[in-house]
Amino acid sequence: MKITAIDVFLTCPTRNYVVVKVHTDAGIYGVGEGTLNGSEPIVAEAIRHVSPLLIGRDPRNTEDLWSLIYHWGYWRGGPIYMTALAAIDMALWDIKGKIANLPVYQLLGGASRRGVLCYGHAGGRDEVEIEDSVRSFLERGYRVVRAQLGNYGGLGIVGHEPPVTEGTPPTHFFEPAKYLVSTPRFFEHLREKLGMEVDLLHDVHEQLTPIEAAWLAKQLEPYRLFFLEDALRPEHRNSWKLVREASTTPLAIGEIFSGRWDCLPLFQGGFIDYIRIKPLHVGGITEARKIMMLAEPYNVRSAFHGAADIGPIAQSASIHLQMTIPNSGVQEWTDFRKSDLLCEVFPSPCRFSDGLAVPNEAPGLGIDYNEELGARYPYKQAWMPLVRRQDGTMHVY
């Protein structure tokens, strides 16, 4: 069997996605995804750039092809190339499943659980609205819920400015004091109203200094968080020790990691409890599986990133992998089945029931891409938000 062509698609049915189809001389094709929020055209071009190296090669040799794509250019790694690699790797696993007439999770070792535990996003403008939102998720069967006061930064977002030029994003202004004070208060309210057994988590979104993050983790300790996400920027690798020693609040990070070398120091230091990678941005199923094997002896579980800027194909890859690994933790969940349009563009997204996500039992990843329909929704220029401090200094989002 040989690869004969690799097609790349940019589509925007509800938001931008990058899709690949890897074709073979056996008439079997595989689908993969290379979405990277705000950088989709760059990833698409990277896939096109590397594709000629794969033509004529056996798609079943996933390990060798992964190494070929990773090492061929000497300038390796980084989110752009690792996302491009992930798209092709997913498609190759989809082909393998179709050849074997089995869902991908069966090729990865078979099911270790009935489904993958998921969490949803609850929020509100005040403590009561957050409580009502959390209750609505619990009523829908969720067993784990993320709680946020407003958008990222909560009351710490103290102002806004319109875009400098049309089509670019507005600027938000963040100061930490109100955020640091209000976050423990609304978790105190939630525990008083909901009890201690409901699993709640919170996303800092990297907006604190190490000492601020350590203080917040300590203040939240009485409220038994499922985990505190992205308390620090990934660049502050040496500061995770400070946050860990300040509190027993479980910690999670990793959604913008791009490979095992980002993860391993945090595993070895015992600094985190959950790793927030996903196959989409670390080189695909092949690499994500290895990262989770590295995580297992350090008692680190998966908490795969799964916001709406990760599409249905990448979601399927995450669910297939987490069905098999012994250290599966939780999956951030976006219910693509709520959109009739997405279900037409990407037939058969994964299903959700009673707090668990379940992969389709069709061969491969169990999902497809409708080229004709996707072409009706062309790519739209999009940007990540801009955040500054009140004095105008650029701030991480």
Residues 122 and 146: beta-carbon distance below 8 Å: yes
Three-class DSSP category at 346:
coil
- Of 82, 102, 122, the last residue of a domain is 102
- Tens of pLDDT along 152-170? 999 999 999 999 998 899 9
CATH number at residue 352: 3.20.20.120
Residue 23 lies in a domain: yes
- Tens of pLDDT along 323-358? 999 999 999 999 999 999 999 999 999 999 999 999
Provide mean pLDDT across the span 259-265: 96
In a shared domain, residues 193 and 271: yes
Residue 369 lies in a domain: no
Residue 21 lies in a domain: yes
In a shared domain, residues 98 and 115: no
Query: Predicted confidence band at 385 (pLDDT cuts at 50, 70, 90)?
Result: confident
pLDDT at 232 (0 to 100)? 95
DSSP structural state of residue 35: -
320 is catalytic: no
- Does position 53 have pLDDT exceeding 90, yes or no? yes
- Of 102, 128, 149, the last residue of a domain is 102
In a shared domain, residues 48 and 171: no
- Does position 397 have pLDDT exceeding 80, yes or no? no
Q: Which of 27-36, 197-206, 232-241 has the lowest mean pLDDT?
A: 232-241
Set 17, 152, 274, 369: catalytic member: 152
Residue 189 lies in a domain: yes
Query: Predicted confidence band at 237 (pLDDT cuts at 50, 70, 90)?
Result: confident
Residue 387 lies in a domain: no
Q: CB-side exposure of 199: number of CA atoms within 13 Å?
A: 15
In a shared domain, residues 146 and 282: yes
- Of 102, 125, 151, the last residue of a domain is 102
Residue 368 lies in a domain: no
Q: Which two tokens stand for residue 286?
A: 């092949």
- CA gap 174, 156 in Å, rounded: 5
Residues 130 and 147: beta-carbon distance below 8 Å: yes
189 is catalytic: no
Provide the domain limits for residue 321.
107-363
Phi and psi at 174, nearest 5°, equal -125, 135
In a shared domain, residues 238 and 347: yes
In a shared domain, residues 164 and 292: yes
- Tens of pLDDT along 89-147? 999 999 999 999 999 999 999 999 999 999 999 999 999 999 999 999 999 999 999 99
Residue 343 lies in a domain: yes
- Does position 373 have pLDDT exceeding 80, yes or no? yes
In a shared domain, residues 235 and 335: yes
Set 205, 281, 305, 320: catalytic member: 205
Q: Is 52 exposed, middle or buried (0-12, 13-18, 19+ CB in 10 A)?
A: exposed
In a shared domain, residues 138 and 186: yes
Report which of 332, 351, 145, 153 is spatially closest to residue 254, judged by C-alpha positions.
Answer: 332
Residues 254 and 276: beta-carbon distance below 8 Å: yes
Query: Predicted confidence band at 396 (pLDDT cuts at 50, 70, 90)?
Result: confident
- Tens of pLDDT along 201-226? 999 999 999 999 999 999 999 999 99
Report which of 28, 20, 13 is spatially closest to residue 58, judged by C-alpha positions.
Answer: 28
DSSP per-residue codes, 161-193: E--SSTTSPPEEEE-HHHHHHHHHHHHHHHHHH
Q: What percentage of the chain has pLDDT greater than the value 70? A: 100
Q: Where are the beta strands (DSSP E) in 257-390?
A: 274-275, 301-304, 330-332, 351-353, 356-358, 386-388
Residues 93 and 364: beta-carbon distance below 8 Å: yes
The mean pLDDT value of the chain amounts to 97
Q: Which of 44-53, 98-107, 381-390 has the lowest mean pLDDT?
A: 381-390
pTM, to two decimals: 0.97
Q: Which two tokens stand for residue 207?
A: 């907006």
Residue 219 lies in a domain: yes
In a shared domain, residues 152 and 173: yes
Q: Which two tokens stand for residue 334?
A: 């976006």
Owner of token pair 């790349």: 8
The total domain count for the chain is 2
In a shared domain, residues 297 and 182: yes
- CA gap 318, 312 in Å, rounded: 10
